[in-house]
């Protein structure tokens, strides 16, 4: 049965999942630019991280809805899709490995996915040990390097905030080097860049938080610069 033309992404996903099990849908659609396939993989991982601390909170659900810009008319479909994938979340490694294969030549997309998982994990304001273990495993499967993972920890976990790691710079950076790094990061986090990297429009809301953290880190380091220059 073909998918209805003009239907929303959530209608398309719900229809696919009603015909096949989630893993079968994911494996039958190998095109990394196919929004439906990409979204299935991300939601499966999101369902797992939401359950990692033993309970799915209202804040986590709200954050999920904000990341995917859920419209009121799509809420019922989204709930259907999320619940189906949550039942299959035990196979999260399969989804993570497949996403890695799909984007092996564009690892930046995988970094964006991991960023979304951090957002959901921290929605309730607590960083549970099981959430950290899960995120570390996904980062390992995605082959995310240690500095990039440290940058996400520094941005998302309040008591681990570190402006140096957020910007990926060292104590010896000059003003010009710091400014150039800042501009590069802001440019890379522009919503148009996220879409160009293969992320569906539903996930561009993450860019707002990321740019805000980059701005905060840059301003903090600029304020400290006279002290470190002595």
What share of the chain in percent tops pLDDT 90? 26
**Residue range 52-109, pLDDT digits in tens:** 776 777 777 778 777 776 777 777 777 777 777 776 656 788 889 888 887 887 788 8
Write down the pLDDT at residue 8: 57
**Band of pLDDT at residue 163, cut at 50, 70 and 90:** very high
Write down the pLDDT at residue 21: 54
DSSP 69: T
Mean local confidence (pLDDT), 188-201: 73
Return all residues near 226 (Cβ < 8 A) that are at least 6 apart: none
**Band of pLDDT at residue 201, cut at 50, 70 and 90:** low
Write down the pLDDT at residue 43: 79
Write down the pLDDT at residue 116: 87
* pLDDT for residue 6 is more than 50: no
More confident residue, 64 or 155: 155
* pLDDT for residue 184 is more than 90: yes
Write down the pLDDT at residue 149: 94
More confident residue, 16 or 109: 109
**Residue range 122-137, pLDDT digits in tens:** 888 889 899 999 999 9
Mean local confidence (pLDDT), 156-185: 91
**What value, to the nearest 5°, has the Cα angle with vertex 206 and ends 104 and 150?**
65
More confident residue, 148 or 68: 148
CB-CB contact of 111 with 144 (8 Å): yes
Q: How far apart are CA 162 and CA 196, in angstroms?
A: 29
Write down the pLDDT at residue 5: 36
**Band of pLDDT at residue 230, cut at 50, 70 and 90:** very low
Q: What is the 3-state secondary structure of 15-30?
A: HHHHHCCHHHHHHHCC
**Band of pLDDT at residue 198, cut at 50, 70 and 90:** low
* pLDDT for residue 24 is more than 60: no
Q: Which residues of 18-36 are buried (b: 16+ CB within 10 A; e: fewer)?
A: eeeebeebbeebeebeebb
Write down the pLDDT at residue 10: 59
């Amino acid at each position: 049965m073909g998918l209805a033309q003009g239907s929303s992404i959530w209608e398309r996903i719900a229809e696919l999942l009603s015909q096949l099990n989630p893993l079968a849908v994911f494996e039958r659609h190998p095109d990394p630019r196919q929004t439906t396939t990409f979204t299935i993989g991300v939601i499966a991982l999101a369902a797992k991280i939401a359950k990692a601390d033993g309970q799915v909170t209202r804040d986590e659900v709200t954050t999920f809805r904000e990341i995917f810009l859920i419209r009121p008319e799509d809420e019922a479909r989204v709930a259907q899709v999320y619940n189906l994938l949550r039942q299959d979340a035990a196979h999260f490694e399969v989804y993570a490995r497949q996403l890695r294969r799909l984007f092996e030549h564009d690892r930046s997309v995988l970094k964006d996915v991991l960023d979304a998982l951090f957002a959901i994990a921290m929605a309730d304001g607590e960083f549970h040990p099981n959430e950290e273990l899960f995120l570390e495993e996904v980062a390992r499967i995605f082959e995310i390097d240690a500095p990039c993972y440290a940058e996400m920890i520094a941005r998302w976990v309040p008591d681990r905030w570190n402006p140096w790691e957020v910007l990926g710079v060292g104590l010896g950076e000059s003003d010009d080097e710091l400014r150039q790094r800042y501009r590069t990061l802001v440019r890379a986090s522009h919503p148009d860049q996220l879409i160009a990297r293969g992320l569906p429009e539903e996930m561009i809301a993450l860019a707002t938080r990321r740019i805000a953290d980059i701005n905060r880190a840059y301003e903090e380091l600029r304020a400290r610069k006279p002290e470190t220059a002595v």
